[in-house]
């Protein structure tokens, strides 16, 4: 049964009235939706602020209990350290939620922005070095244009900035003038700060975030260091600033992420990261994907992107690589398998497995440095494993000669030199597989390679593929070393935040850029930089501009 046709007004006046009514209803609906979003963001920001306040009070109680019971309460001290790290993550999360609530309130226009209560900042020391910068005063009245101005006073903005091995406070003076004709007050605009309501300069902010994420120094230790240098910056204050910095640098992370997944070949790997959850640590993961075209002479600059997850389920890399359709170099982790299956992935990824992983399994059976320490129970070195290591090392020797050449040249050399060695190695492995028993320790690495031989041998037909996945392993080396210093991530959001900052610092290092200087320049300029020029903040573009070269044209995504 067909529905009745929609009736339209017969005259122009009725049609205009209907359109106005429909427009008013649509605007009212959009306003109500924006108000609901702003209310939700406001509630979320208030909840985050309350959680940070509770953690701060718990920390104060713990410190008071330690003072009451004495320093012998070692367990109390460990709990205090844990509470300080929890407070750090909560304050950063509260700052991010506050910024989101402010943005939502600006759209709604009917909801007041949420402002979180912050601890009262202590004054700077009187003996600290100060630099006075006087902003050029207006010469004419901004109201009537008269030149008869008289100084009325001045406003001084104090910004704590860092100079290597010393601190200084920059006093930015904005003189105020009053017009003798119309009595209007004229004054230069307030100076820009890298973080809203911030009092730390971009160089000091870059030092804080680089020490935390690049040098693996937690904020509570940084606060102690500042205290020793005569500057009172609490962990809560530092965490608040880190929250602002991570929100400000998100656009740069997005550009690096897009650059990485535009590659034709990626290195992928992961490592463990402890994540705090309800008083205990769970074993989470940091995933990295590295774009490095230098081995085959590619012009694209190298970059690395990181992600965090609470577990190692395959859904995480499958989500990360959902839009990627090139070559993925990785270990033989089963979570990658659906990405290689054309029946499960619309844009199947080509697998290329790592010979360094395969070699390691053989090398463990012939490690002459470990066997003497095992005493009488040590197994003799396996001659089969030793021969496998020798054959793989012959392939590595060829790769060292062609590293940096074009993909066409690499493929030609591999077809001439590597392919005969690889074919002989496959035949030898299959022969050894038929002679060895299932209980032999060397049968496992042999099966590991032969069951995936097509993916291991793919490098001889593609000059872009590397023999190993060492690029991704090098990118994770800092995480593996750093987690011994910062012990664990305070929350899932803290792990995600660490992944963003690791992306920035590692990408800078891959391009031979000082991460600290680069971050300082970004924080000083990003607020006034148009979106169309944001790509100039990428490490390789930033380096090119610093060297006096013209920036490369921005490529379409």
Q: Clarify whether residues 482 and 341 are in a common domain.
A: yes
Which 3 state secondary structure label does DSSP give 439?
A: coil
pLDDT per position as a tens digit, 216-262: 888 888 898 888 888 888 888 888 888 888 888 999 999 999 999 99
Q: Which range marks the domain in which residue 42 is found?
A: 22-108
Residue 509 has pLDDT above 50, yes or no: yes
Query: Residue 187: CB partners within 8 Å, gap ≥ 6?
Result: 138, 155, 174, 175, 176, 177
Q: For the chain, how big is the Rg over CA atoms in Å?
A: 30
- Residue 128 covered by a domain: no
Residues 325, 391 within the same domain: no
Residues 461 and 477 in one domain: no
88, 59 contact by CB (below 8 A): no
| Residues 432 and 348 occupy one common structural domain | no
In a domain, 225, yes or no: no
pLDDT score recorded for residue 37: 73
Q: Indicate if 268 and 338 belong to the same structural domain.
A: yes
Which pLDDT band, with edges at 50, 70 and 90, does 416 fall under? very high
Assigned domain for 46 exists:
yes
In the structure, what pLDDT confidence band is assigned to residue 73 with cuts at 50, 70 and 90? Answer: very low
Instruction: Check residue 433 and give its pLDDT.
Output: 87
Q: Summarize pLDDT for 492-502 with one digit per residue, the tens.
A: 777 788 889 89
Q: Are residues 279 and 341 in the same domain?
A: yes
* Rounded-to-integer distance, Cα 530 and Cα 525, Å: 10
**Boundary (domain end) residue, out of 57, 76, 108:** 108
Comparing 179 with 116, the larger pLDDT belongs to 179
Q: Bigger pLDDT: 201 or 39?
A: 201
pLDDT of 123 reads 79
378 and 461 in a single domain? The answer is yes
- Contact predicate 169/159, CB 8 Å: yes
**Separation of alpha carbons 495 and 546, rounded Å:** 32
Domain finish residue from 405, 436, 466: 466
* 539 located within any domain: no
pTM over 0.85: no
Q: Which residue has the higher pLDDT, 322 or 282?
A: 322
266, 289 Cβ separation under 8 angstroms: yes
Cβ neighbors of 469 (< 8 A, separation 6 or more) are 267, 268, 269, 329, 330, 331, 353, 354, 356, 357
Kindly state whether residue 488 falls inside one of the protein's structural domains: yes
289 lies in the same domain as 342: yes
Give CB contacts under 8 A, 24+ apart, made by 509-514. Answer: 510/290, 510/292, 510/301, 510/302, 510/303, 510/304, 510/539, 511/301, 511/302, 511/303, 511/539, 511/540, 511/543, 512/543, 513/539, 513/540, 513/542, 513/543
Residue 346 lies in a domain: yes
Indicate the pairing of strand 280-291 with strand 265-277.
antiparallel
95 lies in some domain:
yes
In the structure encoding, which two tokens stand for residue 554, read together?
């921005």
More confident residue, 79 or 306: 306
Clarify whether residues 312 and 336 are in a common domain: yes
Distance between CA atoms of residues 335 and 317, nearest Å: 7
Euclidean distance between CA atoms 105 and 454, whole angstroms: 56
Cβ atoms of residues 139 and 80 within 8 Å: no
- The reply to whether 153 falls in a domain is no
295 plus 393 within the same structural domain: no
Residue 131 sits at φ, ψ, to 5 deg, of -120, 125
pLDDT score recorded for residue 246: 87
pLDDT digits (tens, 9 = 90+) for 39-50: 777 777 777 777
Indicate the pLDDT class of residue 1, thresholds 50, 70 and 90: very low
3-state secondary structure of 372: helix
- The confidence band for 303, taking pLDDT boundaries of 50, 70 and 90, is very high
Which of these ranges, 34-48, 305-319, 446-460, has the smallest mean pLDDT?
Answer: 34-48
Residue range 77-121, pLDDT digits in tens: 556 666 666 667 777 777 777 777 777 777 766 656 656 566 666
Average pLDDT of the residues of the chain:
81
Domain count, the chain: 3
Q: Which residue has the tokens 């359709």?
A: 325
* Percentage above 70 pLDDT, the chain: 83
* Better pLDDT: 522 or 549: 522
Same domain assignment for residues 343 and 359? no
Q: Could you please report the per-residue DSSP string of 267-317? A: EEEEEEEEEEETTEEEEEEEEEEEE--GGGT-SSPPEEEEEEESS--THHH
Verify that 363 and 455 share a domain, yes or no: yes
Residue 276 has pLDDT above 80, yes or no: no
């Amino acid at each position: 049964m067909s529905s009745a046709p929609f009736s339209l007004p017969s005259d122009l006046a009725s049609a205009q009235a209907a359109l106005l009514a429909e427009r008013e209803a649509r605007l009212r609906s959009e306003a109500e939706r924006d108000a609901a979003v702003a209310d939700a963001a406001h509630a979320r920001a208030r909840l985050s602020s309350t959680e940070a306040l509770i953690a701060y009070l718990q920390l104060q109680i713990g410190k008071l209990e330690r003072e009451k019971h004495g320093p012998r309460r070692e367990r109390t001290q460990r709990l205090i350290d844990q509470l300080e790290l929890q407070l750090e993550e909560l304050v950063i999360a509260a700052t991010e939620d506050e910024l989101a609530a402010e943005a939502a309130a600006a759209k709604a226009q009917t909801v007041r922005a949420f402002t979180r209560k912050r601890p009262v900042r202590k004054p700077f020391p009187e003996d600290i070095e100060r630099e006075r910068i006087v902003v050029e005063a207006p010469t004419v009245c901004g109201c009537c244009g008269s030149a008869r101005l008289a100084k009325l006073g001045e406003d001084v903005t104090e910004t704590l900035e860092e100079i290597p091995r010393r601190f200084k406070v920059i006093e930015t003076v904005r003189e105020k003038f009053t017009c003798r004709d119309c009595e209007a007050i004229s004054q230069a605009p307030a100076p820009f700060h890298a973080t809203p309501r911030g009092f730390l300069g971009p160089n000091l902010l870059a030092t804080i975030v680089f020490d935390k994420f690049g040098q693996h120094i937690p904020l509570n230790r940084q606060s102690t260091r500042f205290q020793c240098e005569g500057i009172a910056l609490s962990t809560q204050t530092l965490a608040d600033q880190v929250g602002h910095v991570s929100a400000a640098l998100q656009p740069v992370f997005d550009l690096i992420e897009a650059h990485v997944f535009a590659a034709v070949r990626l290195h992928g790997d992961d490592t463990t990261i402890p994540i705090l959850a309800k008083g205990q640590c769970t074993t989470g993961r940091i995933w990295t994907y590295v774009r490095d075209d230098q081995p085959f002479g590619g012009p694209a600059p190298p970059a690395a992107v990181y992600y965090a997850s609470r577990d190692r389920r395959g859904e995480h890399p499958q989500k990360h690589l959902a839009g990627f359709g090139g070559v993925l170099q990785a270990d033989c982790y089963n979570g990658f398998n659906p990405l290689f299956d054309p029946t499960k992935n619309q844009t199947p990824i080509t697998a290329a497995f790592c010979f360094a992983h395969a070699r390691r399994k053989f090398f463990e059976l012939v490690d002459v440095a470990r066997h003497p320490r095992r005493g009488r129970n040590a197994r003799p070195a396996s001659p089969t494993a030793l021969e496998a290591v020798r054959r793989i090392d012959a392939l590595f020797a060829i790769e060292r000669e062609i590293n940096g050449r074009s993909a066409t040249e690499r493929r030609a050399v591999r077809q001439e030199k590597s392919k005969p060695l690889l074919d002989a190695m496959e035949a030898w492995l299959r022969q050894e597989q038929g002679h060895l028993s299932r209980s032999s320790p060397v049968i496992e690495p042999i099966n590991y390679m032969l069951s995936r031989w097509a993916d291991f041998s793919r490098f001889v037909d593609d000059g872009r593929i590397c023999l190993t996945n060492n690029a991704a392993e090098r990118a994770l080396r800092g995480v593996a070393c750093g987690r011994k210093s910062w012990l664990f991530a305070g929350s899932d959001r803290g792990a995600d935040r660490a992944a963003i900052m690791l992306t920035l610092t590692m990408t800078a290092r891959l391009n031979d850029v000082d991460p600290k200087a680069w971050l300082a320049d970004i924080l000083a300029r990003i607020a006034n930089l148009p979106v169309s020029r944001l790509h100039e903040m990428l490490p390789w573009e930033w380096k090119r501009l610093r060297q006096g070269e013209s920036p490369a044209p921005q490529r379409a995504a």
